[in-house]
Each structure stands twice: as structure tokens, then as C-alpha cells.
């Protein structure tokens, strides 16, 4: 009975799907199973009696092995990723568990391992391990760091360019909030494919967390790095279709190159992350290479965003608004105004909304910011002169992410009522890039505002990727042509054709057009000739506090 049992056990171990090795304390290998040959390439007779170090890749430091033995002594087990070398010289990562076993009065060590370089090729059993992201089937942060450590260790023998690219999707939180996690998950899978489609088979791509990915690339020449980054940005530019809807993803990339931007795996990843943040600050959908100066800026921005939250909670007097009049270009009559928020901090001085609005969005304080906006406007509108013009538009900038927030209705209601009293009309400006990823529910919210008599404007039109077909389905009334197209209008070049095209689209869809950023008389007359309805810009009037603009609005 006993013999059969032992045989059964032996058969079980011999045929186990993971590689198994037993070693003595010295250490010498005393047993290997069949899978051992499949993974390492060594036959039993080649390794019996040899030290286990015959398998080692030389990629790990002596400290690494010391830690491993320390852990074995203290906890009686060790688990982790270790890079070994096959008989044919190839290095590979393996997931290894070691634990002591007693056999016939001697203490042996059992090592159970498997090749995890294969997991991405579809070995589902292993996907559950702590080293892969089940959603994208990419290595996770832990494994990425292990790979990176190994690549850094190999550097002594190679003279290629080793770089870490940190990839963070833009506005992804919004997609998740608006469309739910299932759609978010599908988009993340698409993003993973998109990155892999650009990189080579020897490059490592990993999902670090949420919407963060990272890659290790090794190139013959450093100059080729720029090309890789540009192709990544371009790959993200194509729309992605999930559940019959088009999504417009984009990513911000940060690059750190060994050894100038970091000599260890930790430094490289950290600095690639910092570089990614400077790509975000530069307006997203672009890449930046690490520089220590940018990193200082990052710390500055961090402090400023802390200050913003504190001010929003405790110092409403730091916020104010200015009004920039808008005119009918044909007649020169004032048609309304855009309200722009201002923040003046005692230490940092005046900070541009281009800077603090994205901070508030990122930190989840955009509602509080709009509270300040509404409070300031109501304060200004409280006292009104007689003979005020009727029918003026008051345009507010609203973050697309806020549209879904039902607190917005309650917040805006008193303002809408005040405007009703004045016989003025509210307009909500939403930036184009945000509008393109609106869900059905959100479109209904826009319709709700539309029914409430609020006009919806697409701000910075021309900078996003609106398709004509899509634009047609949106409940919007106004297109605001981005000022970058107005700038070079005088030359009658490419941009002037874009402006004509926008005017054509607007006419076909019966939308009103506002040109923003008119800085010269020539731009203004060019727009007038093209038939543009409304305009605003420094040449017509600068944004000013209420007391300075009020005269414009009386008859």
C-alpha cells in the first residue's frame, strides 16, 4: 500500500505542470521533474549534483540573494520573480516559490517555478498571479519594476539606448464617470493594444494602475526615441469604437533615458512619471522628456493646487470675475459677454484660469469653483443701473464633467432667475474636447438646460475632433472658433479656409458662430467679410471687472 502511494506521489511530482527542483543546504541539486527540462533546457543528468546557481542569469545582485535567504530562514518560505538563464543562454523571468522540506532526516529546499514570460502569450492559469493585470493581460507594476531592474542591470554589457516611457490617458476619469466602468475597461484594453501596436516585440509594456501604462524600450539610437513617442501619440489619435460609440482617447507621455535621467529602475520610473506630468501641463496629448527643471515646476504646481483647495474653502475674497463683451460684427452692437473667473493668491499672485481650472478638475473641486463664479456674478448683478439693454447673453464656462452633476441645476438656478429678471439669456460654454466624449445621459442633461432656455456653446471649436455627423446630433446652439485660427486670418492661408469651413458647417446646421481672440482690425474685418456673426477679443474689448464694463450694457 505504502509503495503504491509513494509511486503515486512520485508520478505526481514528475508530471507536475510547474518545474520542481530539490536541493540540499550546501546547495546541490538532488532532484528535478520533467517540467524542469521544458523550462530550463537542462536534462536531469546535467544538473544533478550541481549548484542551483547554474541556472542564474547574473542579473540579480548579491543583496537580492541575501534577502531571499534571510526571508527563507525567518519565514520558512520565499516567493517572487527571479530572472534565470536557460541552457541556450536566453534569460527569462520565472515565478519561484521556495520552501524547506524534511526528507529522511535531512533538510532539503524545494523550488517550484514557472516561466512567466509566456503568460502574455495566453497562459490563463498564470494570469491570476500577482504579476499580471487580468484586464489587459499586461505585466503589472511589480513585474514591470522587476523587468526594469533586470534591464538596468544588463546595461553594463550593452550600448543601446534604454528608456522608460510613462503613458497616462487624458481625461480618462471623465470617461469612467460618464460611461461606467465597463466601457472604461474596454477602452483600457484598446489603449493597451494601441501601445503594443507601436512598440516592438522585445519592448515591455505594462499597466501600472488605472489609466497608467509604462513601457521599456531599447533602441539602437537615441534619436529613434522621438519617433517612437510621436507614433504613440498618433496611434491614440484614431477614434476607438466601443459599444457602437466613437471615443477619442489621447495620452500624455513622459520619457526618462538611462543613465542621464536615472541610474536605478526606481529613479527612471519616477522621472518618466514627472516628465508625463509636464506633458499634462503642456496641454496633454504630447510627450516630454524628463528635465530637473520641469520636476521643480511639478512641485510648485502641487503646492499651488493645495493652495487652491484651501482658498476655495476659506478665502472666497481671493476669487473674482471679469467680463469680456461680445459684439455683433456686422453692426458693432454689443450682444453680451463672457464671464471669466480670476484667482488672486496672497503668495502666488494672480493665477490664470488656464492653470487653476484644470487643477480644480483634477482634484475634484470644480463644483466649488463654479460656486465662487456664481457668487461673484450675483454680487455684481445685485445692483443694476436703469436703462439696461435687454436680450444680452451672459456666457459661463462650465466643465463638461460638471454637467452630469445634479448639484449644478441648484447652483445655477438663482443666477438664471436673476437673468430672467434682467431679460438676459444664459449661455454655457463647454470645451470641444470634453464634449466629444459625452454619453447619452449627458446629452439629455444638455437638452434639459436647452429647454430651460440656456444656450449651449462649444468652446475652442476646431481643437478637438468633432465629426460633422456627431455635431449634428448635439443639442448645441453656438460654435466658438478657437483663437488659434483667428490669429493668422490676415494671411488668407490654411486657417482662413478652416474658418470658412466652420462658418459653412454652422450655416448648414443652423448654429451661431462666435470668433474669439480677435486681436487686430484686419482679423475683425476679415471675419466680417466671411459672414461671421459674433466676435470677442482684445481688439474689441479686454475682460474687465463689472464696474468698468457696465457702461457698455446700458442704452
Report the site for ligand C2E in 343-382 (rule: CB under 6 A).
Answer: 352-354, 357, 373
3 state DSSP class of 123: coil
| Residues in contact with 518: Cβ distance below 8 Å, sequence separation at least 6, in sequence order | 486, 524, 527, 535, 536, 537, 538, 539, 540
For the chain, the C-alpha Rg in angstroms (whole number) is 31
Give burial (CB, 10 Å; 0-12/13-18/19+) of 17: exposed
Which residue, 133 or 459, has its beta carbon nearer to Mg ion? 459
Q: CB of residue 513 vs Mg ion: minimum separation in angstroms?
A: 13
Pattern of binders to ligand C2E over 7-46, x per CB under 6 A? ----------------------------------------
For residue 32, give the C-alpha cell.
528535478
- Site residues, Mg ion (CB under 5 A): 397, 429, 459-460, 516
- Rounded to whole angstroms, how far apart are CA atoms 512 and 38? 70
- Rounded to whole angstroms, how far apart are CA atoms 154 and 477? 60
- State yes or no: residue 122 binds ligand C2E (CB under 6 A): no
Q: CB of residue 177 vs ligand C2E: minimum separation in angstroms?
A: 16
Stretch that binds ligand C2E, among 39-47, 56-64, 155-163, 512-520 (CB under 6 A): 512-520
- State yes or no: residue 519 binds ligand C2E (CB under 6 A): yes
Q: CB of residue 172 vs Mg ion: minimum separation in angstroms?
A: 23
**Binding partner of 279, given Mg ion, ligand C2E, none, CB within 5-8 angstroms per partner class:** none
Q: At what angle do helices 494-508 and 521-530 cross, to 10 degrees?
A: 40
Stretch that binds ligand C2E, among 273-281, 284-292, 410-418, 531-539 (CB under 6 A): 531-539
Let me know how long the chain is.
Answer: 555
- Rounded to whole angstroms, how far apart are CA atoms 517 and 544? 15
Among 445, 483, 533, 534, binds ligand C2E (CB under 6 A): 483
How many residues lie near ligand C2E (CB under 6 A)?
24
Q: CB of residue 294 vs ligand C2E: minimum separation in angstroms?
A: 22
Contact between 38 and 53 (Cβ < 8 Å): no
- State yes or no: residue 324 binds ligand C2E (CB under 6 A): yes
| Residues in contact with 340: Cβ distance below 8 Å, sequence separation at least 6, in sequence order | 321, 322, 323, 324, 353, 397, 543
Which residue, 149 or 397, has its beta carbon nearer to ligand C2E? 397
Q: CB of residue 343 vs Mg ion: minimum separation in angstroms?
A: 16
Among 271, 397, 433, 466, binds ligand C2E (CB under 6 A): 397
- State yes or no: residue 429 binds ligand C2E (CB under 6 A): yes
**Binding partner of 427, given ligand C2E, Mg ion, none, CB within 5-8 angstroms per partner class:** none
Among the listed residues 231, 136, 145, the one whose alpha carbon sits nearest the alpha carbon of residue 186: 136
- State yes or no: residue 516 binds ligand C2E (CB under 6 A): yes
**Binding partner of 65, given ligand C2E, Mg ion, none, CB within 5-8 angstroms per partner class:** none
| Residues in contact with 239: Cβ distance below 8 Å, sequence separation at least 6, in sequence order | 246, 247, 248, 465
Q: CB of residue 554 vs ligand C2E: minimum separation in angstroms?
A: 23
- Rounded to whole angstroms, how far apart are CA atoms 396 and 374? 9
- State yes or no: residue 457 binds ligand C2E (CB under 6 A): no
Q: CB of residue 402 vs ligand C2E: minimum separation in angstroms?
A: 7
Which residue, 120 or 315, has its beta carbon nearer to ligand C2E? 315
- State yes or no: residue 320 binds ligand C2E (CB under 6 A): no
**Binding partner of 357, given Mg ion, ligand C2E, none, CB within 5-8 angstroms per partner class:** ligand C2E
Which residue, 196 or 431, has its beta carbon nearer to ligand C2E? 431
| Burial letters 305-341, b for 16+ CB under 10 A, else e | bebbeebbeeeeebbbbbbbbbbebeeeebbbbbbbb
Q: CB of residue 430 vs Mg ion: minimum separation in angstroms?
A: 9
- For 207-276, give the DSSP string: EEETTEEEEEEEESSTTHHHHHHHHHHHHHHS-EEETTEEE---EEEEEEETTTT-SSHHHHHHHHHHHH
Q: CB of residue 395 vs ligand C2E: minimum separation in angstroms?
A: 8
**Binding partner of 273, given Mg ion, ligand C2E, none, CB within 5-8 angstroms per partner class:** none
- Rounded to whole angstroms, how far apart are CA atoms 206 and 279? 20
DSSP 26: S
- State yes or no: residue 251 binds ligand C2E (CB under 6 A): no
Q: CB of residue 540 vs ligand C2E: minimum separation in angstroms?
A: 8
Binding site for ligand C2E (CB under 6 A): 324, 340-341, 352-354, 357, 373, 397-399, 429, 431, 459-460, 483, 516-519, 536-538, 543
Amino acid at each position: 500500500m505504502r509503495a503504491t502511494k509513494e509511486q503515486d506521489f512520485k508520478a505526481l511530482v514528475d508530471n507536475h505542470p510547474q518545474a520542481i527542483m530539490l536541493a540540499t543546504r550546501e546547495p546541490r541539486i538532488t532532484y528535478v521533474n520533467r517540467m524542469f527540462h521544458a523550462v530550463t533546457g537542462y536534462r536531469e543528468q546535467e544538473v544533478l549534483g550541481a549548484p542551483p546557481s547554474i541556472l542564474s542569469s547574473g542579473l540579480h545582485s548579491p543583496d537580492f540573494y541575501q534577502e531571499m535567504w534571510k526571508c527563507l530562514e525567518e519565514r520558512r518560505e520565499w516567493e517572487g520573480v527571479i530572472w534565470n538563464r536557460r541552457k541556450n543562454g536566453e534569460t527569462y523571468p520565472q515565478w519561484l516559490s521556495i520552501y524547506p522540506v524534511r526528507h529522511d532526516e535531512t533538510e532539503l529546499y524545494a523550488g517550484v517555478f514557472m516561466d512567466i514570460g509566456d503568460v502574455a502569450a495566453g497562459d490563463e492559469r498564470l494570469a491570476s498571479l500577482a504579476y499580471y493585470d487580468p484586464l489587459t493581460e499586461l505585466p503589472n507594476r511589480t513585474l514591470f519594476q522587476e523587468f526594469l531592474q533586470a534591464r538596468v542591470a544588463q546595461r553594463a554589457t550593452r550600448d543601446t539606448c534604454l528608456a522608460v516611457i510613462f503613458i497616462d490617458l487624458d481625461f480618462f476619469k471623465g470617461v469612467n464617470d460618464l460611461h461606467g466602468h465597463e466601457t472604461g475597461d474596454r477602452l483600457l484594453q484598446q489603449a493597451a493594444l494601441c501601445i503594443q501596436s507601436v512598440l516592438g516585440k522585445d519592448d515591455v509594456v505594462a499597466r501600472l494602475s488605472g489609466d497608467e501604462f509604462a513601457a521599456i524600450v531599447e533602441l539602437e539610437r537615441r534619436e529613434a526615441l522621438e519617433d517612437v513617442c510621436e507614433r504613440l501619440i498618433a496611434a491614440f489619435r484614431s477614434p476607438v469604437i466601443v459599444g457602437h460609440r466613437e471615443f477619442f482617447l489621447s495620452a500624455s507621455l513622459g520619457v526618462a533615458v538611462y543613465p542621464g535621467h536615472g541610474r536605478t529602475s526606481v529613479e527612471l520610473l519616477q522621472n518618466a512619471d514627472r516628465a508625463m506630468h509636464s506633458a499634462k501641463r503642456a496641454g496633454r496629448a504630447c510627450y516630454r522628456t524628463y528635465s530637473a527643471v520641469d520636476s521643480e515646476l511639478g512641485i510648485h504646481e502641487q503646492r499651488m493646487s493645495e493652495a487652491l483647495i484651501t482658498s476655495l474653502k476659506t478665502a472666497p475674497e481671493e476669487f473674482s470675475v471679469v467680463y469680456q463683451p461680445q459684439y455683433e460684427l456686422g453692426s458693432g452692437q454689443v450682444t453680451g459677454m463672457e464671464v471669466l473667473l480670476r484667482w488672486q493668491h496672497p503668495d502666488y499672485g494672480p493665477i490664470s484660469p488656464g492653470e487653476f481650472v484644470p487643477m480644480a478638475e483634477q482634484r475634484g473641486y470644480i463644483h466649488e469653483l463654479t460656486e465662487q463664479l456664481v457668487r461673484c456674478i450675483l454680487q455684481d448683478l445685485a445692483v443694476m443701473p436703469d436703462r439696461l439693454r435687454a436680450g444680452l447673453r451672459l456666457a459661463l464656462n462650465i466643465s463638461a464633467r460638471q454637467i452630469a452633476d445634479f448639484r449644478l441645476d441648484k447652483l445655477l438656478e438663482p443666477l438664471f432667475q436673476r437673468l430672467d429678471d434682467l431679460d438676459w439669456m444664459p449661455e454655457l460654454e463647454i470645451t470641444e474636447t470634453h464634449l466629444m466624449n459625452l454619453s447619452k445621459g449627458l446629452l439629455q442633461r444638455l437638452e434639459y438646460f436647452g429647454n430651460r432656455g440656456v444656450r449651449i456653446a462649444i468652446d475652442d471649436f476646431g481643437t478637438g475632433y468633432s465629426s460633422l455627423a456627431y455635431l449634428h446630433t448635439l443639442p448645441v446652439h453656438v460654435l466658438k472658433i478657437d483663437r488659434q485660427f483667428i490669429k493668422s486670418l490676415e494671411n488668407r492661408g490654411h486657417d482662413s479656409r478652416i474658418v470658412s469651413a466652420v462658418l459653412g458647417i454652422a450655416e448648414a446646421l443652423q448654429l451661431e458662430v462666435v470668433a474669439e481672440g480677435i486681436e487686430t482690425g484686419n482679423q475683425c474685418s476679415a471675419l466680417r467679410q466671411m459672414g461671421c456673426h459674433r466676435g470677442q477679443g482684445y481688439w474689441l474689448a479686454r475682460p474687465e471687472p463689472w464696474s468698468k464694463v457696465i457702461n457698455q450694457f446700458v442704452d
